[in-house]
Amino acid sequence: MPFNYLPHTEAERLEMLARIGVASIDDLYQAVPDSLRHFELEIPPSASELEVNRRLSSLAARNVPTSQVNSFLGAGAQRRYAPAAVDWVLHRSEFLTAYTPYQPEVAQGTLQVIYEFQSLICQMTGLDVANASLYDGSTAVPEAAFMAMRITRRPRVLIARDVHPEYREVLATYASGPHADIAEVPLSGGMLDRARLAELLTPEVACLVVQVPSFLGTVQDMHSLAEQVHAAGALLVVVADPTSLGILEAPGAYGADIVVGEAQAFGNAVAFGGPYVGFMACRETFARQMPGRIVGQTLDSRGQRCFTLTMQTREQHIRREKATSNICTNQALNALAATVHMAVLGPTGLRDLGRIGLQRAHALAEKLARLPGFSLAIDAPFFNEFVLRLPADANATTTALAERGILPGVALGHWYPEYADCLLVSVTELNTPEDCDRLVDALADLPATRSVVAR
């Protein structure tokens, strides 16, 4: 076995093997099947730095950033404009090099940023306490569900079928460890089936997880839903789109107990899937069941305002059986980007941002629904995303339009067979009215669409 890149000498390796009690590396790994220990990797011969750079550049060029196309993709990853101030602050060396702020005396800047992030999340969600951030929106959902199970001491979680499909998959993965009971609430007409929900809300249910706006873009009456859930003694967990909270009512106002979500849209690029930044907020009475860490404000020995890690509920710090989660960090740099973006926007900017997406999405939906063969698949209020039913195959449509530099939306058939002929279309402030008109013209010009018109 070659050791070209290991720093230990042959004598040192033999000494370590002797201490372990084996004669060779092969003996050390004898429990591993031979087929897994001996295989050939197709590694090309060595190349110069220049050649490697050229090769990597050619591979990177095969990726097409959404900034280079007319994109209507959404589904949990939003193409948004980030003010220049975001990158200016983000690339300051003290933030790029900062580590976990265990020592408050040398980490006041990082701690204050996290405190401001928490404060902004609380203001937007209408809840009392927020943590320092989570890995992303998908992992925030199971953390909230398990938190509800601890609070209520109930073993079952209900989750609406119009919660992001990948969030539901992550919840199922988390639940497979402790064997938590997860049940899905079906849809009726593209909306949560309230009658079926009433049947499922048994005394064993810890919480209902819903998304607002839903993955399918819809918005439902949350006040009555909160009353229905609370009447059964369960908690309401809301997966919120923070960009909608300048327009839609704060979840805390209609009765949400725990709010989680993805803050990527604030200051963080789509970036081919990450890294992103999840958030979590809850009512103060539940704070000690919240996973992760919480930064608090206090006074130092001289009476000056300062910040410290008030709560750290990770398993490394306390007895494992008392731990709320095995989360051991937070997305501090991504949360910093989101904090700067939210601070630049302010309440008025957040409201304007939501209004632009809302108005342009509805204007586009009306134009598309007037095309022969097209229709809106769900008759319900929506924010900035909607489900468009096509007169042609959804996957073929996305492929055809991609060749024209347009990404018309996300084909839904992979997750929702009943919407196999549908696209989830997302509109943000980066989709100009002219971009929307280009999409309408391109869809009207497709061969399958022209055949519908001819008929």
Q: What is the 3-state secondary structure (H, E, C) of 144-210?
A: HHHHHHHHHCCCEEEEECCCCHHHHHHHHHHHCCCCCEEEEECEECCEECHHHHHHHCCCCEEEEEE
Cα–Cα dist 329/349, whole Å: 30
Same domain, 241 and 276: yes
Residue 57: is its pLDDT beyond 50? yes
- Does residue 57 lie within any of the structural domains? no
> Is residue 137 domain-shared with residue 259, that is, in the same domain?
yes
| 51 within domain boundaries | no
pLDDT at 318 over 80: no
Looking at residue 93, its pLDDT comes to: 83
60 in a structural domain: no
Q: Please tell me which residue, 46 or 454, carries the higher pLDDT value.
A: 46
- Specify the pLDDT at position 319: 65
**pLDDT category of residue 316 using cuts at 50, 70 and 90:** low
In terms of domains, do 238 and 384 share one?
no
Output the pLDDT for position 36.
82
pLDDT score recorded for residue 111: 92
Percent of the chain topping pLDDT 90: 76
Q: Are 98 and 120 in the same domain? A: yes
| Number of folded domains that form the chain | 3
Q: Hey, how many other C-beta atoms are within 10 angstroms of the C-beta on 23?
A: 11
The parent domain of residue 185 ranges over 84-342
Residue 423: predicted pLDDT: 98
362 shares a domain with 330: no
Q: Is residue 337 domain-shared with residue 362, that is, in the same domain? A: no
Structure confidence at residue 455 as a pLDDT band (50, 70, 90): very low
pTM of the model: 0.88
Contact 104, 308 (CB under 8 A): yes
Residue 454 has pLDDT above 70, yes or no: no
Could you tell me the CATH number of the domain that includes residue 379?
3.90.1150.10
| Res 82: pLDDT | 95
Contact 258/314 with Cβ under 8 angstroms? Answer: no
Average pLDDT over residues 101-130: 92
pLDDT at 453 over 70: no
- Kindly tell me if the per-residue pLDDT of 117 is higher than 60: yes
Q: Each residue of 185-241: pLDDT tens digit?
A: 999 999 999 999 999 999 999 999 999 999 999 999 999 999 999 999 999 999 999
Whether residue 389 contacts residue 421, with contact meaning beta carbons closer than 8 Å, is answered with yes
